[in-house]
Structures are given as structure tokens and as C-alpha cells.
């Protein structure tokens, strides 16, 4: 995508900096910022933890897919996507069709430090986080048009690296990746 137009989807695990970097990147690019988890909470009138308790992960993922579909219709925006959105292939295909997907990649030690002790209190899946990260890493990598090391540098420096990469990109079309068809699905 050119720096002037398009959607940018930030994906990565809990604590990778999607919201923090996303706010800075949106400001830098002159775009709207949307945190998908916050949008789900706003529309549901309940916390993520409460949604998980009432509807389970499957119910939350349905809400997330609907919120992502709405977000994909925005004009120019930077969207911080929930860490598990890439679990559904349809979400990955939608993001890749609709804009540029950037994977904020960080090692487990940095994620654990960032989320800290309060992680389990506010993040329903944190109790199994290390195993979940191992499962999701390949999903983030497949979803992304490019990745950025999110543990190297300040959030401003990370946003600048992303902005430079976006400035050099042309609008994306569906890419054939090993094991994936035109629409990103197997």
C-alpha cells in the first residue's frame, strides 16, 4: 500500500505492541486508528473476559470476525487486530485482500515482560500463553505481507520502520503462497 492510502492491519501476540505502535503509526500516516478488541468491548458493552465467560472463545471469535469485516470497509486506517483473529482463515484472507498485514514479532521473554503479572487478570487466554504463541506464530507469519521485530526499539521507532516499509510498497493483490490459493484459503 502506498503511505497515503489503504488499510494497515497489525497482527501479533498479546503484548506485541499492536495498540501502542498502531496509535503512533496512524498519527504518523494521518489515518484513523481502530483497536479491534476495544471495538468489540464497546459494541458488546462487556469486557473481553466477560464475553469469554458468557460465550466462550468461539463466541468471542464470531464477534471478532464481524468487527473485522466492518473494519475492512473503512477507508484509510490502521487497525490493531486481536491476537487470535488469525486463527480463522477467513479473517486472514479478508485482511490480506483489504490491505497490508504487518506482523509485530516479539520473543516470548519480551511478551511476558510486557504483559506482566496482570496478564492473567485481563487476558482470558494468558494462562496458556507460551503454548498458544507457538501455535500462532506460523499463522501470523502466513498472514503478514511483512514482519517487524517489535522488541527492537521504541514504539515510535517501530512505527517509523513500518511507515518506511509501507512507503515503498505498491497496492497488494492476493499473493500465491505455498499451500494457499488466490483467496488465501487452502
66-117 residue pLDDT tens = 999 999 998 889 999 988 899 899 999 999 999 999 999 888 777 777 666 5
Query: What is the spatial distance between Cα 11 and Cα 99, in angstroms, rounded to a whole number?
Result: 12
Q: Examine residue 175 and state whether it is found in any structural domain, yes or no.
A: no
Q: Examine residue 91 and state whether it is found in any structural domain, yes or no.
A: yes
Q: Examine residue 123 and state whether it is found in any structural domain, yes or no.
A: yes
Q: Examine residue 182 and state whether it is found in any structural domain, yes or no.
A: no
Give the structural domain span for 163.
7-18+32-167
Predicted local distance difference test score (pLDDT) of residue 57: 81
Q: Examine residue 51 and state whether it is found in any structural domain, yes or no.
A: yes
CATH number (domain holding residue 154):
3.40.50.300
Domain count, the chain: 1
| Residue 86 near residue 102 (C-beta atoms within 8 A) | no
User: Model-level pTM?
Assistant: 0.82
More confident residue, 185 or 119: 119
38-60 CB burial, b ≥16 within 10 A, e <16: ebbbeebeeebeebbeeeeeeeb
Each residue's pLDDT tens digit, 6-19:
899 999 988 888 99
Span 162-175, average pLDDT: 69
Enter the DSSP assignment of 169.
P
Q: Examine residue 150 and state whether it is found in any structural domain, yes or no.
A: yes
Beta carbons within 8 Å of 164's beta carbon, 6+ residues apart: none
Tell me the pLDDT band of 126, cut-offs 50, 70 and 90: low
Q: Examine residue 63 and state whether it is found in any structural domain, yes or no.
A: yes
Q: Examine residue 186 and state whether it is found in any structural domain, yes or no.
A: no
Amino acid at each position: 500500500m502506498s503511505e497515503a492510502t489503504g488499510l494497515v492491519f497489525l497482527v501479533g501476540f498479546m503484548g506485541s505492541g499492536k495498540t501502542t505502535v498502531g496509535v503512533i503509526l496512524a498519527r504518523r500516516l494521518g489515518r484513523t486508528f481502530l483497536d479491534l478488541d476495544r471495538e468489540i468491548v464497546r459494541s458488546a458493552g462487556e469486557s473481553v473476559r466477560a464475553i469469554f465467560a458468557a460465550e466462550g472463545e468461539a463466541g468471542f471469535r464470531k464477534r471478532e470476525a464481524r468487527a473485522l469485516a466492518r473494519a475492512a470497509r473503512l477507508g484509510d486506517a490502521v487497525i490493531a487486530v486481536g491476537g487470535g483473529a488469525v486463527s480463522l482463515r477467513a479473517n486472514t484472507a479478508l485482511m490480506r485482500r483489504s490491505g497490508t498485514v504487518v506482523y509485530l514479532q516479539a520473543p516470548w521473554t519480551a511478551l511476558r515482560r510486557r504483559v506482566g503479572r496482570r496478564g492473567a487478570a485481563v487476558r482470558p487466554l494468558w494462562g496458556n500463553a507460551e503454548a498458544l504463541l507457538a501455535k500462532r506464530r506460523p499463522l501470523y507469519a502466513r498472514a503478514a505481507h511483512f514482519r517487524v521485530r517489535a522488541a527492537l526499539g521504541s514504539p515510535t521507532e517501530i512505527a517509523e520502520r513500518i511507515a518506511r516499509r509501507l512507503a515503498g510498497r505498491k497496492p497488494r493483490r492476493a499473493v500465491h503462497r505455498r499451500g494457499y490459493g488466490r483467496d488465501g484459503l487452502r
